[in-house]
Structure 1
C-alpha cells in the first residue's frame, strides 16, 4: 500500500525519522558517560550497601525468566552455539572431524556437532545433567575436570567450550589442557559469561532479582537474605570471580603454540544507573570501568605447532 504523503514530504521526513531511531542509543550512551564519570571521580566511601538497600532493590526488580533446560530449548541452544562458531570459522580451514567439548552440560551442543557428521567426545565435572539424546546420538560422554582432560594429546581437530570458563577454578590450566588435546592446525573456541563483575555475573537469578548484587553487598549478606526468603542460593565457589583483564592475559600470554584468530567481548550497559548511584561500591571492586560492563568473551585460537 502506497503512502498518502507526497514523495517530497516523505523525503523531508526521512532524516527526522532516522534521528528519532538514534535517540535511544544516544540516551544510553549518555547514561554510560555519566556512570563512567561518577566511577572515575568516586572517593573513599562505603564499599557495601546495607540490608535495607538490599530489600529495596530486590523489591524494585522483577525476577528474570528461569534459564530454560527443556528439550526444545537445549536442542535449539546447541544448534545456535555451533552456528556461532561456524560464523567465525577461518576461511580455508577444513571441517572438524573430531570434536572435544569441555563443560558440555546436558550435551546438546555436542549433539549438534555429532549430527553434522563429527566424532564427538564431551566432558563435564557433573554428569547428572547429560541428556539421554546425547547418549543415544553417539556422543562419547565422560565426567572429567577441565584441568585434567582424559584424551590423548592432539586427538581433536576442534575443542569447544560454552558458558564454562567463568566456572573453572583454574582457567589457565584448562587452556593448557585444551591446547594439549587439539592437533597442530586445530582450533579452540571458548565462549563464556556472564563475567563476575558484569551485571549478572553473580549467577543467582533464582534468588537475587537485581543486577550487580556481588558488587553492592557481601556474599554472606546475599546468602542470608536469599535463605530468609526461602530461595536457593548457589555457593560462591560456583564462579571463579576472574575479571576480563585476567582472562585477557591468558590469550596475551598464551604458549607460542597458540595464536588468536578472533576475539570478541560482549558488553551490557543497560544497568549503569546503579554504577552512577553507588560509585564507591563499584570502585572498591575494580579500578577499571569496563570490568563492570564487559559481560562475555568469545575467543578463537589455533594451535600452530
Structure 2
C-alpha cells in the first residue's frame, strides 16, 4: 500500500476535530496524559533517551514527543498526518520553549525513503490500530532506525476481553473515551505484531501490558497483555 493511501481520512478528521483539547488533562485525552509517564519510563528503561535522536510516529498533539525531548533526547522529530494536531503540538512546544523538538506532516513511509537509519529510537504508540496497513508502518519504522537502535510499538489486543474493556467499557459504560474512538476489527494480536516486526527485520525483545484499575482509576505496566500492550524491538 502506498504511503499516500496508508491513512484513514475519517480517523484523521476525528482526531483533528479534537486537536484543540489534546493538552487538556480532563478531556478525552485524559488516558493518554495518565499513561504518558508510564510509557516514557518503560521506553527510557530499555533505551535511555539522553543524547539520542528520536522519532515519534503518529505523534498527535505531541504528548510523548515533548516528554521525550524534555527527558534529555538530543533531538526529537514528531510526525503525523493530522494538520490540526501538529499545529497544537507545535504551539505547545513553542510555549514550553522546547528547542530540541520539531514536527513534520509526513507519512512514515515517505520519511523512511528520506532518512533511512537516521534515528537511535523510534516510537509508534497508539497508532497502528488507526491505519489501514499497520505492517507498512512497522516496515517503515524498521527502516528509519539505525542498526542496533530500538523501535517501540503499542496497540490493542484483538480478543473478547479487549473488546469488552477497550470498547464497551471505556467508550460506552465509563465514558473514558468518545464512542467510536476504536474499531475492534483493527486491533492487533501480539503474535501478529511480533511477526510483522520480524518480517521487517526487527528482533522483538520485550512485551509488557498496560492495565487500568477502575477502582483506583490508575494505570500500571505489567505482564497482562490482554488489552493494551507495548512491544520493544531492536534492529540487528
- Structure-1-length-normalised TM-score: 0.51
Q: Establish whether residue 246 from structure 1 lines up as the match of residue 192 from structure 2.
A: yes
> CA deviation digits over 1:13-69, x for unaligned, max 9?
xxxxxxxxxxxxxxxxxxxxxxxxxxxxxxxxxxxxxxxxxxxxxxxxxxxxxx984
**8 Å CA contact retained: 1:265, 1:294:** yes
- In the alignment, the residues of structure 2 paired with residue 94 and residue 117 of structure 1 have an alpha-carbon distance, to the nearest angstrom, of 5
Alpha-carbon distance, 1:235 to partner: 7.6
Report the 3-state secondary structure (helix = DSSP H, G, I; strand = E; otherwise coil) of the residue aligned with 1:294.
Answer: coil
**8 Å CA contact retained: 2:57, 2:108:** yes
Structure with a larger share of its residues in strand: 2
- In the alignment, the residues of structure 2 paired with residue 178 and residue 159 of structure 1 have an alpha-carbon distance, to the nearest angstrom, of 7
Q: What does residue 209 of structure 1 align with?
A: 173
Alpha-carbon distance change, 88 to 134 in structure 1, aligned in 2, over 3 angstroms: same
RMSD: 3.6
Alpha-carbon distance, 1:120 to partner: 0.7
Alpha-carbon distance change, 109 to 76 in structure 1, aligned in 2, over 3 angstroms: same
Which of residues 94, 98, 104 in structure 2 aligns to 1:137? 98
Q: What does residue 200 of structure 1 align with?
A: 165
Gaps of 5+ in 1: 1-66, 212-231, 271-292
- Structure-2-length-normalised TM-score: 0.64
Q: How does 1:49-88 map to 2 (within 5 A)?
A: 69-70=23-24, 77-88=35-46
Higher relative contact order (CA 8 A, sep 6+): 1
Q: How does 1:130-169 map to 2 (within 5 A)?
A: 130-131=88-89, 132-135=91-94, 136-138=97-99, 139-149=101-111, 151-169=114-132
- In the alignment, the residues of structure 2 paired with residue 238 and residue 96 of structure 1 have an alpha-carbon distance, to the nearest angstrom, of 38
Pairs aligned (count): 190
Alpha-carbon distance change, 105 to 203 in structure 1, aligned in 2, over 3 angstroms: farther
Gaps of 5+ in 2: 1-20, 215-224
